[in-house]
Structures are given as C-alpha cells and as structure tokens.
Amino acid sequence: MRNLETEIPSYLNDFRQTIPAKHDQEEIARSLQHTIRFYCQLRSKLTMPELIIHSQAEAASTKYLQSVIDEFK
C-alpha cells in the first residue's frame, strides 16, 4: 500500500478545502490558494533528490495569482 492511502484520513480536511463550497470567485480563489499551500506542504515531506523546485517561479506565479484575486475583490 502506498503512503498516501494510509495518510489520507489525516489530510481529509485539507483535501476538502481544495474543493470550493460555492461556485463564486472568492470561494474558488480560497480553494485554489489552499490547494497551492497544501501541495507545498505535501511536497515538503517528499524525499526525492530528483525533484527540482523552482522557488523563484513558484513565488512569481503565486504573487501573480494573488494580484488577479485582488483585482476582483
């Protein structure tokens, strides 16, 4: 059995937050932001030397996403 299947119960709330409760801009934005944070959290637990993390690109893309979200608030 893979690790994820044994750990899913402890991440259930995080998985739920990746799905918007309503189909409006603010809820979708919250879900997308949580998805990014959750992905980074899970990724940080990996021990894969072949995984290359492009921190500058990640920071730029999340900054851009935030600017888009701020435009419709």
Q: What is the pLDDT of residues 10-60, one digit of tens each?
A: 888 999 999 999 999 999 999 999 999 999 998 998 888 898 999 999 999
Q: DSSP secondary structure string, 5-72? A: HHHHHHHHHHHHHTS-SSSSHHHHHHHHHHHHHHHHHHHHT---TT----HHHHHHHHHHHHHHHHHT
Domain enclosing residue 47, as ranges: 3-71
pTM above 0.85, yes or no: no
* Counted domains in the chain: 1
